Amino acid sequence: MCGIMGYTGGGAAAKIVYDGLKRLEYRGYDSAGISVLCGNEIKTVKRLGRVSALGGLLGKMHGGTGIGHTRWATHGKPSDENAHPHNAGVFSIVHNGIIENYSQLKAEYFSDENFLSDTDSEVIAKLLDKFYDGDLTSALARVCGLLRGSYAIAVMCAKSDGFAVAKRGSSVVIGYGENENFAASDLPALAGLCKNVAVLNDGDIALLTANGVAIFDENLQGVIREIVPNPATPADLELNGNPHYMLKEIREVPAAIERTRLSYAYVESSVKKAMEGVDRVIITGCGTAYNSGLAAKRYIESFARIPAEAEIAGEFRYKNPVITPNTAVIAVSQSGETADTVEAAELALSLGAKVIAVTNSPYSRLTRCADVVVPVEAGCEICVAATKSYSGQVTALYMIARTLAGSSVQSSAEIIAPFPALCAQITESEDIDGLADMCARSYGTYFLGRDIDYAVAQEGSLKLKEISYVPSEGYPAGELKHGTLALIDIRTVSVFIITGKSLAGKCANAVEQVLSRKGKAAVITNVAEVAERFKGRAYVVEIPSCDEWLSPLVSSVVLQLLAYKTALLLDRDPDKPRNLAKSVTVE
């Protein structure tokens, strides 16, 4: 959701910022721009489209300090004018977040002035120019005091060395180099550039020059933030021979499950302690993270017999939720930065719940507010659509549910142990090209299952629609006859996930209902009788038999590959689907 990057030092700022923006492109790719301090003049280039659109424009941008931006449009359409940086007087700024009171600020301070863009961000540059009296930091503090909403801002001033950053809500990581320093929205931008990093707190303002970084709180008192080794490595960014990050990351599912299962042992006792006396659990998240919560609900209720609900974070935070001191909220987020999820977690904390974060990002906002952090060890995920992080989340949530049920960490880890190999078998062998072709030609694709297979159906549907744009819906198979059946005809494909023996017969009835209405059907199953029954009548994908509860780990890989292959057939970019961004740090 917009990425910002800043550099100051002896290197070529334009190139360093450009490379950093390319690594942050998963946060938005509607437009991009860079400003460089060339002597005491700021030069800016910005363009509609991807970061690569700037490639040929940087030739005359010589200088050691620069800031840049890759945009996911919120206020103002994607265009050259609305691209950041925005400049006013001696200032150039880039912004990630939403300034909620930008119209009031414009009316109050600039009623007679023209703005060059429709963004909420340009007013920041104008305000800086208005309040500047020779000191960048105090002008920035004054402006931040007026802003409502969320922001990570990088500011360059033609009259100062280096650049400044400020943050509230949206994240900023500082990178400490040797005679050079960096700031970025996220760690991948800093991979291989610096050994140490620090995460800024809300309200912080940092002034970066080649020789050092000074950090202040909102009252401009100097503060110290913990400096830790930079966990991002250039290897995280390699495609390793894969044509896309999505395929690379699907192939990394086995490693994500393995690392997550092993690392849980280090947090099990904290989970146990936090969950003491808990009589109700709410799992919250957005998108794929919410879908992993659907599986967790079933785990917690079945294993621990504790009532559990899965709630979409953006709904939960505004519904005045019922929380008692014995409620635990599990907030699930790959990035740990999704605004709705972090704010749902903060709300739950303020109402007295225990909050457990399940996240792939160890230094994220979510980790800083939660009582306990259960790591998802999926490694850096770059494709906008989540794949290996889903598998890691399901693994972690399964282990949490078993802890709640009083099972030992060893026994849970043993049940999961075969799954990396089972998933590797799928990524290397499953033939679903014919099914991808059916989906690509379909008018609509429906994903159906019962119980734990329904949770996976939701994720399969999300994956397909987000990267192939084929209209799709995930539905409980039993509900088919109460609505979705009206949509079924020869142009539709219904993909059934059938992994549990006990409900296989019931689900098979739904397949028959689709076939008898001339709908096309596919069955992804590890139940031999089901496979036998539908061979020749439906597209059958046989998957290995496994522990019933953990079948989502296997079936989700088939659905991820299906979405990937369908997207390729339709000539979509699977890594950067239109209109989407990976880290949605605004509401």
Strands 196-199 and 227-229: antiparallel
* Pair of tokens at residue 552: 């989502």
Cα diameter, the chain: 79
9, 33, 162, 287: residue in contact with ligand G6P (rule CB under 6 A): 287
Tell me: does residue 289 bind ligand G6P (CB under 6 A): yes
Tell me: does residue 580 bind ligand G6P (CB under 6 A): yes
Give the CA distances from residue 201 to residues 20, 155, 169, in Å, rounded to whole numbers and listed in that order. Answer: 22, 18, 9
Point out the residues that are catalytic: 2, 582
335, 442, 494, 525: residue in contact with ligand G6P (rule CB under 6 A): 335
Please identify, among the stretches 87-95, 179-187, 329-337, 343-351, the one whose residues bind ligand G6P according to the rule CB under 6 A: 329-337
Closest to ligand G6P by CB, 220 or 580 = 580
Closest to ligand G6P by CB, 206 or 394 = 394
DSSP one-letter code for 270: H
* Pair of tokens at residue 531: 């496979």
* Shortest separation between residue 26's beta carbon and ligand G6P, angstroms: 9
Alpha carbons 163 and 183: distance in angstroms, whole number: 9
Per DSSP, the residues of 391-421 read HHHHHHHHHHHHHHTT--HHHHHHHHTTHHH
205, 256, 584, 586: residue in contact with ligand G6P (rule CB under 6 A): 584
Strands 65-71 and 3-9: antiparallel
Phi, psi angles (nearest 5°) of residue 454: -70, -40
Mark residues 434-463: x for contact with ligand G6P by CB under 6 A, - for none.
------------------------------
Closest to ligand G6P by CB, 155 or 313 = 313
Alpha carbons 428 and 445: distance in angstroms, whole number: 25
Please identify, among the stretches 110-118, 121-129, 214-222, 327-335, the one whose residues bind ligand G6P according to the rule CB under 6 A: 327-335
On whether the CB atoms of residues 432 and 522 are closer than 8 A, the answer is no
Tell me: does residue 334 bind ligand G6P (CB under 6 A): yes
**Backbone φ/ψ region at 140: left (φ over 0), alpha (ψ -120 to 50), beta:** alpha
Tell me: does residue 188 bind ligand G6P (CB under 6 A): no
DSSP one-letter code for 200: P
* Shortest separation between residue 585's beta carbon and ligand G6P, angstroms: 10
Q: Per CB under 6 A, which of residues 523..562 are in contact with ligand G6P? A: none
Per DSSP, the residues of 327-360 read EEEEEEESSS--HHHHHHHHHHHHTT-EEEEEES
Name 87's bridge partners.
92
Closest residue to ligand G6P in the complex (CB): 287
Tell me: does residue 364 bind ligand G6P (CB under 6 A): no
Compute how many residues bind ligand G6P; rule: CB under 6 A: 17
Phi, psi angles (nearest 5°) of residue 551: -60, -25
> Which helix (H) or strand (E) segment is 531 a member of?
helix 528-534
Tell me: does residue 520 bind ligand G6P (CB under 6 A): no
Closest to ligand G6P by CB, 370 or 507 = 370
* Shortest separation between residue 210's beta carbon and ligand G6P, angstroms: 34
Name 43's bridge partners.
36
Tell me: does residue 492 bind ligand G6P (CB under 6 A): no
Tell me: does residue 567 bind ligand G6P (CB under 6 A): no
Q: Per CB under 6 A, which of residues 368..397 are in contact with ligand G6P? A: 384-386
Tell me: does residue 341 bind ligand G6P (CB under 6 A): yes
Q: Which residues bind ligand G6P (CB under 6 A)?
A: 285-289, 333-335, 338, 341, 384-386, 580, 582-584
